[in-house]
Each structure stands twice: as C-alpha cells, then as structure tokens.
Chains A and B, each alone.
Chain A
C-alpha cells in the first residue's frame, strides 16, 4: 500500500511540478493541464503500439506537451485572451486531438506491450525486490526532474522567469519581452505534465481521454499541501521538494478516501467533492497562518 501511494504520488508529482511552475512561479493559472496530461498518455501509448523505443515515445510526449503550452501562450499573448480562458480553449481542443491520436477511440490499453516500466522491471528483477523496483525507478526519475528544474531556475533565464511572475514591469524594464518568457514557462510546464501523463498511462496500463479530468485540481491541492509543510521559502530547491512531497501526501489522502471511505459511507464519486473541500480548507488554513505571520512580523518590528 505504501509503495503504491508513493509511486502514484511521484508519477503525478511530475505533473505537480508543472502546475507549480505555472501557478506559483509564472503566476499564470493554466488549465491546459487537463488536456496536456492525457495528451502525454495518448502519445506515449501510441508510440509504444507503433513499436517505438520507450524513451523516444516519452520524448515525443514531452514535445507534445510543450506545444500544447505554447499554443495557450500564443492565444493569451497575441489575442489578448485572459489566461484562464486561453487554457480552457487549448484543453477543449486537445480533447478532440487526443481521441484522434488514440485512433478515434477514447481508451487504448497497453497491457501486452513492452513499456518503459516493464522494461525496467525485467532488468532489475532479482536484483531488487519486485515490490520496490517501480518505487526506486520513480524516486530516481522524479528527483532527477526536480533537480533539473532547480538548475533551470538558477540560470539567468530561469531567474528572469521567476521575477516576471512577481513583477512583470520589472522584466519589461530590463528590455525583455514578457510574452517570450510566458511562452517558455508554459511550454516547460505542460511538457512536464505530459511526461507525467505518459508515465501514468504505462503504470495504469492504458491511455484514456478522461485521464486528465480535474487533474488541475489534484495538482493545485498537492502544491498547496506542499506549501503548507514548510514556512515561506524563496529557495527553488525547497519549493520543488515541497511540490513532490505535497503530491505524495495528496495521494495518501485520496488512497484513504478510496479504500476506507466506505466506513463513513463515502463512494468513489465523492472524491471530487473531497478534493474541492481539501483546497478550500487549505486556503482557509494558509490565510489564517498568513495573518498570524503578519501580526508576528509587526510585533517583531516594534
């Protein structure tokens, strides 16, 4: 059970890192995610069915996600469409595109196919206990991605993207076009989301157009749980770690809801309600904590 929660938490954690980039670093609430997650799943599964190398299929899924993010950025930048609406537009279009990619089907299984995961399992089987192979694999994968993101946001370009989310005028004053930075940020974020979708499809054994439904809410809840873990920090390494940890905790809560919810007469369809309530509770908690922190600061200054 614990390995299951951890593996799921880490797979979806890659998506949470993407959501963290748009919502927190760029300050751009991007809803493309609900479409780019199943896009990654669809591209991966079709790639495998075509007999492609797994890593190549993953790369294509990543590129597909990047393009989805770029489309949202272009709609927002050039048509002056508000960010939420731009994301919804891309997400809606992706629904049709994903079905096309899956060959006009809503669900395509990969159970008999070799996947990256089955490949890894075969190689490590016997060396590591079977139950822990996937866990180890996803720890390595998610930490590597986390470290790469940390590295990116320590470069000049990454730092400038961070500054833009905080103060767009400052970036303009530096002679940089914020539209370019938004395009890069959204591309990166949705690329990560698609990679997460690609892994999720292999883990679940199928790609489904409905896979992304409400995924943005899970992502946001995870980001918020992560933030709740640690007092405010401006170190990117701490923040990305919190995003991953938040994802694992979120999946633990969902797991409990799914398997033990019956005790309080909960059904699986109640989970969406739970996710929403979780976000509302977190909002209230963070707000009251912010107020307390502010009060504390005032007292210290006096």
Chain B
C-alpha cells in the first residue's frame, strides 16, 4: 500500500551540521499491517513518519501510495488518507473551541464551505460515537477542550481520526505524554479501533513490551536504518530479551538504554 524505495533524508546538507537521519530505507507497508516501531532516541523513527506524511521531502528516493507516486504531494493533501497522532495531545484538537465544534471540524476531511453542518442530528451522532470512549465525554459536548485532560484529548483525537477512515494511521509515541493509567486506556482503545475498523497502522513506542504485544509486524530502527523487520509467527514468539539479543547481534554497540527499557 505504501512503498518506500531507496529513501534517504539528510538535514542541513552541505553544512557542518549535516545529519543523515534516514539511510537508504526500503519499506513496503502492506494493507492491514499493524506495525510497531522501536529504536533508540534519534534513530529516525519520527523522521520516517514525517516523510510518509509529507512534512519533509526525501533527499533521495520515492514514496508510492496505492501505486501512485506521492513523493512531491504536500502534507495537507496526504492527510486526506493518512491519519496521524503526535506525542503532544494538544496537537490533535483546538483548545479554545468546544468539544462539539472540534468534532465538527475533524469528522470529515477536506476543505469546508460556508454551510453549517453542526445540526442537532450531527450532535446526536457525535454523542453516540463518544460513548465508545467510555469517558463520559458525551455529557460535555459544549465544554471548552482546555478543560479536558491530555488522555481525554488524545482519545478524542483517536476517535475522530478513526471515524474519517484513513488508509493509514501513524501513531508517534501517542501515549508517552500521558500518565500510566490514561496511557493504558488510550492504548487499549487504539488496539480496539485498529481491529474493529481493520486499519493499516504504524505505531512508534519506546515500550518494548507494547511493541511485542501489539501488531503483526515489528520494525527496529537504529541510526537511520531499519535493522530488523519481523512479522507473523516469528513476531509472536518475540520476547524483550530476544529483541535485545538481536540488537547486539546486528549492531556491535549497546542498545542505548536497554536496561531502562527492560525495567518497564
């Protein structure tokens, strides 16, 4: 579905700060894949997402979506079929607007015209969808989002993204800024939605247990490269120990903070 061919990304090319964030990446995201991605800080995980989303262009290489070359397509156009959630819960919703206004803006992709879609029928539809979150938000439709917790906002962003039925969703440590309880709730919801709506997904996480537990495919990145790509039964049999061992085998330096990761 998404095919990345020989893609490299170099920041500040030709300056002393030159930094190759991605090196000759090849990746085929198949329809129905739920890919978890791990790797140390600065490995290039977010850069890979930025590349697929169109936030940054590749220095070399091409990106295809459904057979179409999208290497030069701007971010806002790709957003119509690629959904994305960031680590920062504030990036998915507008703080100074009410919950129902936010839902109105996010429920359908594309340019909005001079009509008023927020009818009582629409509100009713939003209310029933909110029930899925089991957070009691359906009683707070007129409240400003400023009053909501990060976990509630992230869950809302997730719900609205799912309702717009994107061809691919990308989650960049989307539970990292939440407290453990909320992080667990949002992650459970994520898994539930991905299964129910059969979404093709990619999820970056620093938690190896989550990377192993969720999804059908796992990518390990290091210094701008995908060093390990595992799926199917082999993925099911992974353990944290095996992953770290694999890392040592492939690279001859230590996994940056493997102890910290093991502790989680």
In the complex the two chains form, what is the Cα distance from A149 to B263 in whole Å?
56
**Per-position binary interface string of chain B over residues 78-117, scored 1 when its CB falls under 8 Å from any chain A CB and 0 otherwise:** 0110011010001111111110011011100111111111
**Alpha-carbon gap, A162 to B104, bound state (A):** 12
Segment touching B, from A107-115, A166-174, A200-208, A212-220:
A166-174
Chain A CB within 8 A of B75 CB: yes
Q: List 20 A-B contacts (CB under 8 A).
A: A155-B112, A156-B114, A156-B115, A156-B116, A159-B101, A160-B105, A163-B97, A163-B101, A163-B102, A166-B97, A167-B91, A170-B105, A172-B79, A175-B76, A175-B109, A177-B76, A177-B111, A178-B76, A180-B111, A234-B144
Distance of A123 Cα from B134 Cα, bound (Å): 63
How many chain A residues sit at the interface, stated as a range, is: 20 to 34
Knowing that A155-B112, A157-B112 are A-B contacts, what are 4 other residue pairs whose CB atoms are under 8 Å apart, sorted by A's residue number? A156-B117, A159-B104, A167-B93, A171-B76
Closest-CB distance, A247 to chain B (whole angstroms): 22
Hey, which chain B residues are within 8 Å of A172, CB to CB? 75-76, 79
Considering the complex, give the chain B residue whose CB is closest to the CB of A178.
B76
Q: Check A234/B98 contact, CB under 8 A, given A155-B115, A156-B115, A175-B80.
A: yes
Tell me if B116 and A163 are in contact (CB < 8 A).
no
Interface SS of chain B: helix, strand, loop or mixed? loop
- Expressed in whole angstroms, the Cα–Cα distance for A176 and B76 within the complex equals 6
The answer to whether B94 touches A167, judged by C-beta atoms less than 8 angstroms apart, is yes
Whether B112 lies near A156 (C-beta < 8 A) is yes
> Does A258 count as interface, using CB distance less than 8 angstroms?
no
Contact of B109 among A169, A174, A234 (CB under 8 A): A174
Given known A-B contacts A159-B101, A234-B98, A176 and B112 have beta carbons under 8 A apart: yes
Task: State the Cβ distance, B142 to closest chain A Cβ, in Å.
Answer: 10
Q: Does B72 contact A (CB under 8 A)?
A: no
| Contact indicator B144/A157 (Cβ below 8 Å) | no
Q: Known interface pairs A160-B105, A166-B94. Does A173 touch B84 (Cβ–Cβ under 8 Å)?
A: yes
Among B79, B104, B112, B144, chain A packs the most CB atoms within 10 A around the CB of: B112
Give Cα distance in the complex from A159 to B84, angstroms: 21
- Specify which of B76, B84, B90 is in contact with A167 (CB 8 Å cutoff): B90
Nearest B residue to A25 by beta-carbon distance? B96
Which chain B residue lies CB-closest to A164? B94
Q: How far is the CA of A156 from the CA of B119 in the complex (A)?
A: 11
Q: Is B198 an interface residue when CB atoms closer than 8 A count as contact?
A: no
Say which residue of A152, A155, A176 sits within 8 Å of B111 (CB atoms): A176
- C-alpha gap A193/B74 in the complex (Å): 33
| A residues with CB within 8 A of B | 152, 154-160, 162-163, 166-167, 169-178, 180, 234
Residue B77 lies at the interface, judged by CB distance under 8 Å to chain A: yes
A-B pairs with lowest CB-CB distance, top 6: A156-B112, A175-B80, A175-B109, A166-B94, A163-B94, A175-B79
A167 to B112: give the CA distance in the assembly, Å.
16
In contact, A170 and B93 (Cβ under 8 angstroms): yes
Chain B: minimal CB distance from A231 (Å): 12
Q: Report the minimum CB–CB distance from A153 to chain B (whole Å).
A: 10
Whether A159 pairs with B105 at a CB distance below 8 angstroms is: yes
The CB with the most chain A CB atoms within 10 A, among B86, B93, B105, B113, is that of B105
Least CB distance, A108 to chain B, in whole angstroms: 37
| Residues 22-72 (chain B) with a chain A CB within 8 angstroms | none
Residues of B within 8 A of A157 (CB): 111-114
Q: Which residues of chain B come closer than 8 Å to A159, judged between CB atoms?
A: 97, 101, 104-105, 112, 118
User: A234 and B97 in contact (CB under 8 A), knowing A157-B114, A173-B84, A176-B76?
Assistant: yes
Contact A173 B79 (CB under 8 A): yes
Chain B nearest CB: distance from A169 CB in Å? 5
Complex Cα–Cα for A154 and B112 (A): 12
* Contact (Cβ within 8 A) A174 B75: no
Find out whether the CB atom of B96 lies under 8 angstroms from the CB atom of A234: yes
**Chain A residues positioned under 8 Å from B111 (CB to CB):** 157, 175-177, 180
Is the pair B105, A174 in contact by a Cβ cutoff of 8 Å? yes
Give Cα distance in the complex from A172 to B83, angstroms: 11
List residues of chain B with CB within 8 A of the CB of A152. 114
A169 CA to B80 CA, complexed, in Å:
13
Residues from chain B with a CB closer than 8 A to the CB of A173 are: 79, 83-84, 92
Q: A156-B115, A176-B76 are in contact. Are A167 and B106 (CB under 8 A)?
A: no
Indicate if the CB atoms of B97 and A162 lie closer than 8 Å.
Answer: yes
Q: How far is the CA of A178 from the CA of B76 in the complex (A)?
A: 8
Q: Which residues of B contact A174 (CB under 8 A)?
A: 79, 105-106, 109-110
Nearest chain B CB to A173 CB, angstrom units:
5
